[in-house]
């Protein structure tokens, strides 16, 4: 089993920045993709960004140019730097690890991000 623990959420004013972190522990295979998803009431969970071990990234169009995803493979940790935050970014952000090696999917417990206007 793999455990994911997010941190860094909180309250920020529009235009501000936050940095989310997610540390993975347990039996982690080398071939995996880590990412961030978010969900608000009345909307389905949506992809924010993903990153492979080799650094290949994928971003939702709504965050491209504002958010940056990165990872530290030695620490099994993924980060999400969020700049120029907007009220519509308010959501619970979930860390995800897609283990390609054993076809397993893992989720963190979520961290609340609130952007005030």
Residue 3 has pLDDT above 90, yes or no: yes
For residue range 41-97, what is the model confidence (pLDDT) as tens digits?
Answer: 889 999 999 999 999 999 999 999 999 999 999 999 999 999 999 999 999 999 999
What is the tens place of the pLDDT at every residue in 22-33?
Answer: 999 999 998 999
Strand blocks (E) in 56-107? 57-59, 67-72, 77-82, 91-99, 104-107
Give residue 90's pLDDT: 97
66-100 burial: b if 16+ Cβ within 10 Å, else e: ebbbebeeeebbbbbebeebeeebbbbbbbbbebe
C-alpha span between 1 and 25 (Å, rounded): 9
pLDDT at 84: 98
Task: Report whether pLDDT(1) > 90.
Answer: no
Q: What is the pLDDT of residue 24?
A: 97
pLDDT attached to residue 7: 96
């Amino acid at each position: 089993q793999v455990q994911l623990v997010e941190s860094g959420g909180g309250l920020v004013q529009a235009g501000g920045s936050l940095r989310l972190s997610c540390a993975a522990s347990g039996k982690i295979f080398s071939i995996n993709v880590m990412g961030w998803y978010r969900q608000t009431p009345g909307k389905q969970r949506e992809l924010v960004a993903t990153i492979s071990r080799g650094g290949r990234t994928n971003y939702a169009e709504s965050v491209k140019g504002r958010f940056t995803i990165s990872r530290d493979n030695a620490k099994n940790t993924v980060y999400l730097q969020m700049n120029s935050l907007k009220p519509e970014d308010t959501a619970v952000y979930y860390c995800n690890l897609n283990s390609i090696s054993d076809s397993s999917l893992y989720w963190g417990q979520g961290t609340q991000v609130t952007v005030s206007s």
